[in-house]
Chain A
Amino acid sequence: MSFHFRRLRLKDWLVYGGETEIELPDFDKGRNLVVVNGQNGFGKTSLLRGLSFVFDGRGSRADLIELWNERARSSKEGSLEVGIEFLHAGRVCKVIRGAHFKPWGDTVSVTPWVKLLIDDREEADQVADKIEELLPQDCLEFVFFDGAEISRYAQKQHQAGVREAIEKVLGVPAVRNLRHDLDRLINDLEDEQEGLLSSSQQAETLVREIEELKDEQEKYQERRRELVEKKQSLEETKKELEAEAEGIEAIERERNELQEKLGRRASLGERRSELDSGIRQLIAETPLALLEQPLQQVVEELRAKQQPSGRKDRLVAQIRVLRDLLETEAEHCLCGRDIDDEARNKLSGELGRIEKLVGESQSQSEGAMTDLLDLSALLKSISARKREPEELIDKRAHIDTQLEELETDIARLRGQLEGHELATVKELYEQIGQITRQIDEKKDQIETIDRNIERNRTVLIQKQRELDEIGAGNEQARGVTRTLAAARKMLAAVSELVDRLIEQKRTGIEDRATEIFRQITNKPMEYEGIRVNPDYTLEVVRKDGSVVENTKLSAGEKEVVAYSFITALNLSSRDPAPFVMDTPFGHLDSGHRAGLLRSLPKLDVQAILLATDRDLPADERDAIDGSICREFTLRRDQPHATTAIEES
């Protein structure tokens, strides 16, 4: 049965005053979740710190006093205690750690203590080592963690010590230590063999030759290490340059975008100036609006005057009839009187006068018509201008908004383009070409050295066999020689095992991390999974095989990557430990959170989730109801400033 917690007991520990104990059911796959609900400041982190304290135990006297419940501390005498019972490798283990406090002058004396019981038998010696063996301190951060821890891990993948901690979790150091110890043993045995065979001239020569070969081998190995480092550094530079070259195209696009935006800004600026002067002119013409009403009246009057134009036409027609009559030289008037020359002249004179009057009247009427048209146009223009200022101001405001957006875009683009002015794709590809040639040279050199190492190794083995044969014939040296031969075979096997094991573990973690990541990510159609590099740095790989730059991942996505890796790492260890997660959803959106919650029941370990109502809203909690084996609530007794854990 897997490693899981069964009971937790706290006494005067941080916010937990008095004694508090909870029991947890045995691990049941699919119903592996223990939920502890609590508001901020009610004691979730105190619970997590309690678990770490049991397995870690590091801390100064002052730290221990700080961990002692505040109310209990006021009495200056008492004790704190955290105990945990768990099942590990089929054994019931209990680790209880605490400290006694007694007044000591003005201060308090602190006596820390720890107990380990395995199957109800108390371990008497090497207790710290035995606890370390159950759950190494270096691994604690991978099993007891909070949101902040995940965030930190998402940032610190490259820090020294992480690789060591990871390999410790995976059980690699034991094999690596074996390789180291076997190597030392072989050196001792070779010295012993050499001493025992010193009387033989042939053996002495062989020993000297072997030593020379070993020295040479060492030099080759050293040179190889240097070349590998240089090659790696060149490969990294090449990768950076390639990324930069890829970025150049994007930069070119950005540069064009900047030019286009600058052009647009200039044209909008011009348009804005035009609008500005239009608005100024309109403001200057505002008094014209006062004329609108009187003008309207004038126009209406003129229109009315234009109405009788039919009378004038009739008058003109009558004049024309009279003129025709006079010109036809009629002798009698229509009234019957005779028309003599004198009368004809008189009538002609009168007709001339009337024609003149009608002509004058027509000219006046045409002038009035022109005035009417002019005034109507002016009136129309004034009416139109009444609306124009508002439209122009609106247009100017719209242009101002566009200009503001353009300014932001221009500033952003200028920022992005800073320092990229001189780079060209051609120059970069020339550099990449040079570096590729250097990498190829290094590869060739490494291959040559590898051939030399292999040739030397064959000769070395041959010489050692010859020496062993001499040793086998020597009564005293026979035993040493046989042990040496067995140790050498073992060393060869262990050396290969270390490399293969690391690679196997790495790919194993990669597969598990990818599986978990895909359950949680909100971009399952875009992301293929997680790549775990040989130095345990992590990368997200897209469906098309390209890698997502770490800087392009959001804080939430980085946390999902880190969580997936931490979980996969624990599950790949020799004895996967229970997970205790304190509000692990720091930057996660609801989609990621739901994905993470769905992934928890699929884990092969007990998972204890310490959550606020924000971490685990009612609907999301209901969605995992079937996977919860036990649920607790932290109750705060505020008047007494203490917390108790109650089963929900």
Chain B
Amino acid sequence: MDDLICEVAKKHDADADLLRQLIDYEQTKVHLERRRGAKDELCRFLEKHIEEKDK
């Protein structure tokens, strides 16, 4: 799985660590019928990642 994440992230110029974080986040919500706030949470992950990249 890890190798696969790295491979697709590289191919699409995305950050593998960020992708892993997002999957882990979704994993904690997978058993819930409604994933309230998931969209906003993902947005925060992305913004935080951009911020850290800018530093």
Binding site for B on A (CB under 8 A): 129, 132-133, 136, 168, 171, 173-175, 177-178, 181-182, 184-185, 188-189, 479, 482-483, 486-487, 489-490, 492-494, 496-497, 500-501, 504
Determine the residue in chain A with the shortest Cβ distance to B24: A174
A493 contact from B1, B14, B47, B49, Cβ within 8 A = B14
Task: Give the distance in Å from the alpha carbon of A177 to the alpha carbon of B27 in the complex.
Answer: 9
| B19→A185 contact, CB < 8 A | no
Contact mask for chain B residues 17-36; partner A; CB cutoff 8 A; 1 contact, 0 none: 01100110011111110010
Binding site for A on B (CB under 8 A): 1, 4-5, 8-9, 11-14, 18-19, 22-23, 26-32, 35, 38-39, 42-43, 46-47, 49-50
| B26→A496 contact, CB < 8 A | no
| B39→A501 contact, CB < 8 A | no
* 4 extra interface residue pairs, beta carbon distance < 8 Å, beyond A129-B31, A486-B49: A178-B23, A482-B50, A493-B8, A493-B14
Task: Give the distance in Å from the alpha carbon of A202 to the alpha carbon of B13 in the complex.
Answer: 28
- A/B interface sample: 28 pairs, CB < 8 A: A129-B32, A136-B31, A168-B30, A174-B23, A174-B27, A174-B29, A175-B23, A177-B26, A177-B35, A178-B26, A178-B42, A181-B26, A184-B39, A185-B39, A189-B43, A483-B50, A486-B14, A486-B49, A490-B12, A490-B19, A490-B22, A492-B12, A493-B9, A493-B12, A493-B14, A493-B19, A494-B22, A501-B1
In the A-B complex, the 9 residue pairs with the smallest Cβ-Cβ separation, listed nearest first, are A132-B31, A493-B12, A174-B26, A492-B12, A493-B14, A489-B14, A174-B27, A178-B26, A493-B8
| B29→A177 contact, CB < 8 A | yes
Beyond A482-B50, A490-B14, whether A188 also contacts B39 by CB under 8 A is yes
Task: Give the distance in Å from the alpha carbon of A184 to the alpha carbon of B35 in the complex.
Answer: 12
Task: Give the distance in Å from the alpha carbon of A647 to the alpha carbon of B39 in the complex.
Answer: 52
Chain B residues, CB < 8 A from A132? 31
Chain A residues, CB < 8 A from B35? 177, 181
Determine the residue in chain A with the shortest Cβ distance to B28: A133
A496 contact from B12, B42, B49, Cβ within 8 A = B12
Task: Give the distance in Å from the alpha carbon of A493 to the alpha carbon of B39 in the complex.
Answer: 17
Task: Give the distance in Å from the alpha carbon of A504 to the alpha carbon of B9 in the complex.
Answer: 17
Task: Give the distance in Å from the alpha carbon of A22 to the alpha carbon of B3 in the complex.
Answer: 41
| A182→B32 contact, CB < 8 A | no
Give A186 Cβ to nearest chain B Cβ, in Å: 10
Beyond A486-B49, A497-B4, whether A177 also contacts B31 by CB under 8 A is no
Chain A residues, CB < 8 A from B46? 483, 486-487, 490
Task: Give the distance in Å from the alpha carbon of A542 to the alpha carbon of B20 in the complex.
Answer: 40
Determine the residue in chain A with the shortest Cβ distance to B18: A490
| A182→B42 contact, CB < 8 A | yes
Task: Give the distance in Å from the alpha carbon of A155 to the alpha carbon of B31 in the complex.
Answer: 27
Chain B residues, CB < 8 A from A493? 8-9, 11-12, 14, 19
| A185→B43 contact, CB < 8 A | yes
Chain A residues, CB < 8 A from B11? 493, 496
Chain B residues, CB < 8 A from A136? 30-31
| A181→B31 contact, CB < 8 A | no
Determine the residue in chain B with the shortest Cβ distance to A499: B8
| B42→A181 contact, CB < 8 A | yes
Task: Give the distance in Å from the alpha carbon of A185 to the alpha carbon of B22 in the complex.
Answer: 13
Task: Give the distance in Å from the alpha carbon of A496 to the alpha carbon of B5 in the complex.
Answer: 10
A494 contact from B19, B31, B43, Cβ within 8 A = B19
Give B5 Cβ to nearest chain A Cβ, in Å: 7
Chain A residues, CB < 8 A from B4? 497, 500-501, 504
Chain A residues, CB < 8 A from B32? 129
| A181→B39 contact, CB < 8 A | yes
Determine the residue in chain B with the shortest Cβ distance to A173: B30
Task: Give the distance in Å from the alpha carbon of A497 to the alpha carbon of B49 in the complex.
Answer: 20
Task: Give the distance in Å from the alpha carbon of A132 to the alpha carbon of B31 in the complex.
Answer: 6
| A500→B8 contact, CB < 8 A | yes
Determine the residue in chain A with the shortest Cβ distance to B22: A178
| A483→B14 contact, CB < 8 A | no
| B27→A171 contact, CB < 8 A | yes
B5 contact from A133, A483, A497, Cβ within 8 A = A497
Determine the residue in chain B with the shortest Cβ distance to A487: B46
Task: Give the distance in Å from the alpha carbon of A178 to the alpha carbon of B27 in the complex.
Answer: 9
Give A209 Cβ to nearest chain B Cβ, in Å: 24
Task: Give the distance in Å from the alpha carbon of A493 to the alpha carbon of B43 in the complex.
Answer: 16
Determine the residue in chain B with the shortest Cβ distance to A137: B31
Task: Give the distance in Å from the alpha carbon of A109 to the alpha carbon of B33 in the complex.
Answer: 30
Chain A residues, CB < 8 A from B5? 497
Beyond A136-B31, A177-B29, whether A486 also contacts B12 by CB under 8 A is no
Task: Give the distance in Å from the alpha carbon of A497 to the alpha carbon of B5 in the complex.
Answer: 7
Chain B residues, CB < 8 A from A175? 23, 26
Chain A residues, CB < 8 A from B12? 489-490, 492-493, 496
Task: Give the distance in Å from the alpha carbon of A257 to the alpha carbon of B14 in the complex.
Answer: 67
Give B22 Cβ to nearest chain A Cβ, in Å: 5
Chain A residues, CB < 8 A from B42? 178, 181-182, 185, 487
| B13→A489 contact, CB < 8 A | yes
Chain B residues, CB < 8 A from A504? 4
Give A189 Cβ to nearest chain B Cβ, in Å: 8
Chain B residues, CB < 8 A from A174? 23, 26-27, 29-30
Beyond A174-B30, A177-B35, whether A486 also contacts B50 by CB under 8 A is yes
Give B4 Cβ to nearest chain A Cβ, in Å: 6
Chain A residues, CB < 8 A from B39? 181, 184-185, 188
| A496→B50 contact, CB < 8 A | no
Chain B residues, CB < 8 A from A182? 22, 42
Determine the residue in chain A with the shortest Cβ distance to B39: A185
Task: Give the distance in Å from the alpha carbon of A490 to the alpha carbon of B13 in the complex.
Answer: 8
Task: Give the distance in Å from the alpha carbon of A314 to the alpha carbon of B47 in the complex.
Answer: 149
